[in-house]
Amino acid sequence: RLASEVSDFAPRVPAAPSLLDLPAVKRANNIQMPLLMLLMLLCGSSAGKLSTLEEGTPACTAPPVGGAPAMIVYGGSNTQGANAVNVSGGTVIYARPNPSFAHLLFAQLNWTKSTLSWGADGGAGPTLVGACASQFIPPTTRVGTVEFLPNMGFIKEDAAELGAIAKILDMLRSRGAAAFVVDVIAGSKRFEREGHFLPCNRFSKDQLNKNVLGCMSRERQLSLHNAIVALANATGAQLVSLDCDETPELFGADSFHLNAAGHRHVFNEIWRAYRQMPCSGQNSSTHAVGKIGDDSGVTCALGDELQPLIGSAVGFRRADLVGPHRVAKIGWEASDPGASIMFCVPLPRHAVAMKLASKRLFWHRKDADQQAAFLGAHFNVGIGFLVSHPHNKPLFGKAHVDCHGSCTCPCNGTTCIYDTLSNTSRVTVTSFLRLDVLDAHASAPDMHSSQCPPNACIVRVQNTNSADKRSRVVVRSIIAGVNDHRTAWLHGGQSLHGVAR
């Protein structure tokens, strides 16, 4: 697992395996495997009789206000149902995925009309989901499962990852949803095996625990587990934990992934608790943007969540870009020349200070390169512009972007222009312009005119006059964070270094 891995911004929804179609004794590049291979497990076996699935009607059956009930699923390969049937040297051999606890739960809910927000991604950590929790967890969410522990700790950003978990759980609570944290604790054999086949054994145990990106220990994982237990208790979430060293019969060959029995065990624990839960209050507010300056080191604001960040706006107005009877698409739009909008973006300085104070060690060149980029510019700010085609009238125009206040960005200058008219397609999308941002002393004129606090990074967007009379500019989103894996995923924009587009 590379330190640069993060959740997908647009989670994929895999086809759930049939609940009656239990793992077949086959598949490793379509090669048939003998039945005996299923018994060659370092940490338990899924063979034998499986436990009966819990049944029963939930205490709360009232539909949510405002739409069909939603279940959100976020986690890594355990949530996906990854099925490790053998380990050969340093290679794990996988068979057909198990019906995971999340698939079993959604099937048992048996909602006639529902939404499943599937965000399970192998190797994923919680950072991005936590940053944009209000977007990934819709107001109609009734149930959510969160499973990230086995993938945490590798990037040595414990405060950031735990802060992201806290945001997710807090958002589930604010939605009035039942939240279940699934903590899968990998077995000791897994870490022993990695010590033989990864460069982690070059380092001392103390270095490996505290400083080496991409390496992990069971002790560090248990420490993270204890912190997650505290977060679950603080937010009222239910906790289901499995430790391979204590229940090896619930794990696969790699001492990391649950087997079929393990997934059934987790489902049964969840369902016993869920069916007794009363209905809770529902919060449909979309104004749920978190504090950008917290330990997680990244957050996003979309649509109406931009409102608290606006210091001043001349010619930019709130607009619903899709019209009545459809899902709202809110942005801040300017059509007349000479418009300007200033966003007061608080930078995650505490997260940067913690990163600078730590002494990281790298065995992978990609991580070392990313650290060098961080030292060049501590922050990233992404501005989500609506980009459209020539058939969408009035025509989209050019945005001029610069930074003031307590920050500077490389695009300061007369050529920092982003053209939001696209001739390559017939669709309208949000494209992110990514700015490398540095701390700076506040510039007095802009501090007064924008009404931003003294420590804010002021990001100003103006539309430009053009010969073809294109003045339409729409801002839909802002994402701000530390210049590392937390913001490296920003797609589709340009890192402006005096480049006109």
Please report which helix (H) or strand (E) contains residue 95, including its range.
strand 91-95
Residue 397 binned pLDDT confidence (cut-offs 50, 70, 90)? very high
Structure confidence at residue 178 (pLDDT): 96
What is the DSSP secondary structure assignment for residue 338, as one 8-state letter?
T
Task: Tell me: pLDDT of 158 over 80.
Answer: yes
Structure pTM?
Answer: 0.75
How would residue 157 be classed by pLDDT, with cut points 50, 70 and 90? confident
Q: Which CATH number is 128's domain given?
A: 3.40.50.1110
Whether 154 is covered by a domain: the verdict is yes
Do 357 and 241 lie in one domain? The reply is: no
262 and 307 assigned to the same domain: no
CA distance 26 to 391: 52
394 prior amide bond cis, ω within 30: yes
HSE, side-chain direction, 13 A CA sphere, residue 218: 16
Q: Residue 25: inside a domain, yes or no?
A: no
Share of the chain above pLDDT 70, in %: 76
Choice between 152 and 113, residue whose per-residue pLDDT is larger: 152
Residue 283 is assigned to a structural domain of this protein: no
**Is the residue at 437 inside a domain?**
yes
Q: Specify the CATH number for the domain of residue 372.
A: 2.60.120.260
Helix axes 101-109, 260-274, angle to 10 degrees: 40
Tokens read off for 142: 């009734």
Mean pLDDT of 396-421: 82
Q: pLDDT tens digit string along 164-177? A: 999 999 999 989 99
The answer to whether position 52 is within a domain reads no
- Residue 230 shares a structural domain with residue 317: no
Q: What is the mean pLDDT of residues 109-127?
A: 85
Does residue 397 sit within a domain?
yes
pLDDT over 80 (residue 285): no
Which of the pair, 470 or 250, is modelled with greater confidence? Answer: 250
178 within 8 A of 169, measured Cβ to Cβ: no
Q: Read off the pLDDT band of 41 (50, 70, 90).
A: very low
pLDDT-above-90 percentage for the chain: 40
Q: How many domains does the chain have?
A: 2
Query: 106 and 232, same structural domain?
Result: yes
**In angstroms, rounded to a whole number, what is the distance separating the alpha carbons of residues 148 and 181?**
9
User: Do 175 and 228 belong to one domain?
Assistant: yes
Q: How confident is the model at residue 442 (pLDDT cuts 50, 70, 90)?
A: low
Instruction: Indicate if the pLDDT at residue 45 is higher than 60.
Output: no
The verdict on residue 70 lying in a domain is: yes
Domain termination site, one of 211, 240, 274: 274
- Mean per-residue pLDDT, 41-49: 47
Statement: residue 104 has pLDDT above 70 = yes
Q: Which of 223, 242, 274 is where one domain is finished?
A: 274
pLDDT confidence tier of residue 493, bands split at 50, 70 and 90: very low
| 133 contacts: CB under 8 Å, gap ≥ 6 | 167, 168, 170, 171, 288, 290
Among 82-86, 406-410, 421-425, 493-497, which range has the highest average pLDDT?
82-86
Burial 23-33 (b: 16+ CB within 10 A, else e): bebebeeeeeb
Looking at the structure, tell me whether residues 379 and 322 fall in a common domain. yes
Task: Identify which has the larger pLDDT, 345 or 2.
Answer: 345
pLDDT of residue 238: 98
Binned at pLDDT 50, 70 and 90, residue 22 comes out as very low
Residues 366 and 251 occupy one common structural domain? no
Residues 410, 267, single domain; the answer is no
Are the C-beta atoms of residues 178 and 142 closer than 8 Å to each other? Answer: yes
Would 501 be classed as within a structural domain? Answer: no
Task: Give me the DSSP letters along 415-462.
Answer: T-EEE-B-SS-S--EEEEEEEEEEE-PPPHHHHHHHT--TTEEEEEEE
Domain boundaries, position 350: 298-482
Question: Whole-angstrom Cα distance, residue 221 to residue 150?
Answer: 7
What is the Cα–Cα distance from 212 to 217, expressed in whole angstroms? Answer: 11
* In a shared domain, residues 189 and 323: no
Task: State the average pLDDT for the chain.
Answer: 79
AA identity, residue 23:
P
Do residues 305 and 453 share a domain?
yes
Please tell me whether residues 232 and 89 are part of one structural domain. yes
The reply to whether 207 and 321 lie within a common domain is no
